Structure 1
Amino acid sequence: MWVIIAIVVLVIVLGLVVAARKSSERRTEHARERATSIRDESREHQVEAERTRASAAAAQAEAAEKKREAELLERQAGEHGTEASRADEDALERAREADRIDPDVTTDDDGVRQTGHDRSTDVDHDRSTEVDRDRDTDPSGDRDRELDTDRQHGDDRSERPR
């Protein structure tokens, strides 16, 4: 009987050892599969990180290009503003020159038009006012040239019938 008990105990111990070994192998295999899965996920995340990094670099390059374009446009706008200021100054200077030359306009030493002085009683002013009136009523503008030509020759036909 002791022999049978010893054999049964030996079979049970061997069964437990084999079961433990198989369980250990299963755990090891499961750990390998899990590690492989984690490595695959890691590679996918790394590829996605590289794509994101490439997108960020492309966006940064585009932003730098847009910044250069904006700076160029800003410089051009400044140049146009400077040109416009020069044109304004030129126009103002030409207007002042015209005021200096015009006998009907009083200007100061800088060519700035003075208000309050009226030369409308001058004969020449009355004639130019009449010419201006004729220009407004004659769409062809021919009467202006005729009146100006006549005045130059001393022949005032401003009272000519229309």
Structure 2
Amino acid sequence: MDTSTLIWIIVGIVVVVAVVIIIAVVLSRRNSAKRLEAQHEKAQGLREDARKTETAAREREAQAAQARADTASAAAEAEQAKARAAQASVEADRAAATIDDHASDAAKLRAEQAEKLREADKIDPAVTTAGSRRTADDRRAVQGHEEPVFDDGTAARDRRDVARDQDGDIRTDDRPSAPGRA
């Protein structure tokens, strides 16, 4: 083999190696571009996940703040309810005292009224000797309407033996009902 052939063979080998190196570099750049693109997409996915997580965290913080506000509001409402209950208790005590005062005043007035009536009965000549009983005429005049009066001077409403027949007329057990009436 001659040197020139040998040179051509070496040149051919160098050219083939250079082409292989060039192809390898080109493929490696493509792979590296794909790798960079894949890494970029992965980074974008992580950023999107981070945004979603941040949004979820903000929502939870807002819910927590709302729950705190609701709890504070409920506590404030409970305190207001306690205050209203205490106020109502005070007002109830005050009303009870007022009721007791009114009942006491009413009892005093009734006692005064009873005393005045006793005094009037003592002075009034129309009152029978039985004490506090008025005559039937006096009773009708005081009440302003007529009601049945019996022989003993009592009104029908004062007697326990009074009944009403079917027509609503007053009758007593000791007085027979009118014929044709039950």
The TM-score normalised by the length of structure 1 is 0.56
Alignment partner of 1:88 out of 88, 94, 109: 109
Q: CA deviation at 1:110?
A: 4.9
Matching residue within 15, 20, 28 for 1:7 = 28
5 Å matches for 1:32-47? 32-47=53-68
Match of 2:79 in 1: 58
Structure 1 residue 105, shift from structure 2 partner: 5.0
- 1:22 match: 43
Distance in 1, matches of 2:87 and 2:113, equals 38
Count of aligned pairs between the two proteins: 117
Unaligned runs of 5+ in 1: 118-162
What is the CA–CA distance in structure 1 between the aligned matches of 2:99 and 2:68, rounded to whole Å?
46
CA contact 1:100–1:106 (8 Å) conserved in 2: yes
Measure how far apart 1:115 and its partner are.
6.3
**Equivalent residue, structure 2, for 1:124:** none
Percent sequence identity over matched residues? Answer: 8
Name whichever structure is richer in helix by fraction: 1
Counterpart of 1:50, as a letter, is: T
SS at match of 1:95: helix
Larger RCO (CA within 8 A; separation ≥ 6): 1
Given the superposition, is the C-alpha separation of residues 32 and 13 from structure 1 closer, same or farther in structure 2, using an over 3 Å criterion? same
Q: CA deviation at 1:55?
A: 1.6
Aligned partner of residue 132 in structure 2, secondary structure:
coil
Secondary structure of residue in 1 paired with 2:35: helix
- Read off the aligned partner of 2:73 and give its amino acid letter: T
Does the Cα contact within 8 Å between 2:121 and 2:131 map onto a contact in 1? Answer: no
CA positional deviation for 1:68: 1.0
**Structure 2 stretches lacking a partner, 5+ long:** 1-21, 139-182
After TM superposition, the score normalised by the length of structure 2 is: 0.51
Q: Give the counterpart letter for 1:57 in structure 2.
A: A
User: What root-mean-square deviation, in Å, do the aligned CA atoms of Structure 1 and Structure 2 show?
Assistant: 2.9
Instruction: Return the alpha-carbon distance in structure 2 between the equivalents of residues 105 and 74 of structure 1.
Output: 45
